[in-house]
Structure 1
Amino acid sequence: MQQKPNPLKLDSDQSQVATENRFTSPKISSLPSCGELERSLGQAIQKAYRQHLGHLPTRVSCHLFANRLSVWIEDSLTPVETVLFSISDLPDAKYAQAVRFAIDQALERRLSRVIEGCLNVSVLTLIAGTCYEQKCTSLTALLSDTPTVRNPERIPKTMASRQAHRKAPTQE
């Protein structure tokens, strides 16, 4: 059985908690990891689709890249869009595209607020694109800053990730 490390006494001025071999900041340990933040954002986007459209996408995948966010939403088309798109006598499914454009416009502000609430950064730009054949939607957001996470080196394209991936010099 592994023993828990004994906490060491520190002055009340110090903002770190000490154990026998390491120091951790309470602020850092309470932050979500990059993966946790991406998962909770995906769940919040699914919830927004269900609340505002009455439709639940089957899967929402989110990925952070420094101050950018990529979101992939599977099975994003509503039943009305699916019916409009499947009607063969409509040239290029213009009506389905018009409905999706209206939905994207209506959801843009709401999804921006969902993203801002989960990531605690502002959304500067949000772009949506939908593939009718695959019934999926892609969102790309430009963020005001990189979200604060416990493990910033896991967010690609950040200074922390570049430093973590640099090779240490070899000694011979």
Structure 2
Amino acid sequence: MGGLPTRGQLERKISQEIQAFYRCYLGHQPSKVTCQIFSNKIALILENSITNAELILIDEGKNELAKKVRFNLDEAIQPKLKELIEEITAEKVADILSDATLNTGRTGIIVVLSDMPEIRSLNGIPKIK
């Protein structure tokens, strides 16, 4: 079946591509990526997203340095992440907000798109933007 993806299909594709992206760029794949699209926003939760280097710093009691490393990693990959999301959704990314909690290993990302991605409704009729 061709045409537009359903919301669920698009969310799964984004989740899978984000996992592959982190594996490629950080050498560390989150164990799970949860994606939820609502209107022109995408919410992502990455489980076990902290790299081994960050974990070593935390184990050594260097939490502030680990936070700085995470901040710099997020900043460095953001342009490529933006490019990936734009490619998948066919919409411009207006903003990306990201933060990680080192003690739980989770990263939260909110992507604000310029418009809602085109998706197919469950009854096969395209949703109107």
Question: TM (normalized to structure 2)?
Answer: 0.91
Deviations 1:20-75 (A, max 9, x none): xxxxxx9xx62110000000011111111011111111001111110111000001
The CA RMSD measured in Å over matched residues stands at 1.9
Which residue of 15, 25, 33 corresponds with 1:42? 15
Choose 1 or 2 for highest CA Rg. Answer: 1
Report percent identity of matched pairs. Answer: 32
Counterparts of 1:129-148 in structure 2, within 5 Å, are 129-148=99-118
Matches of 2:87 and 2:35 in 1, distance apart?
A: 15
Q: Say which SS state the counterpart of residue 127 (structure 1) adopts.
A: strand
Which ranges in structure 1 are unaligned for 5 or more consecutive residues?
1-25, 154-158, 161-172
Greater than 2 Å deviation, 4+ residue runs:
none
Aligned length: 125
Verify: 1:86 aligned to 2:69, yes or no: no
Q: Say which SS state the counterpart of residue 99 (structure 2) adopts.
A: strand
Which ranges in structure 2 are unaligned for 5 or more consecutive residues?
none
Question: TM (normalized to structure 1)?
Answer: 0.69
Match of residue 14 from structure 1: none
Match of residue 60 from structure 1: 33
Please tell me the residue identity of whatever aligns with 1:33. T
Please tell me the residue identity of whatever aligns with 2:119. V
Deviations 1:57-112 (A, max 9, x none): 10011111101110000010000001111213x3xx11000100010001111111
Match of residue 104 from structure 1: 74
Please tell me the residue identity of whatever aligns with 2:8. G
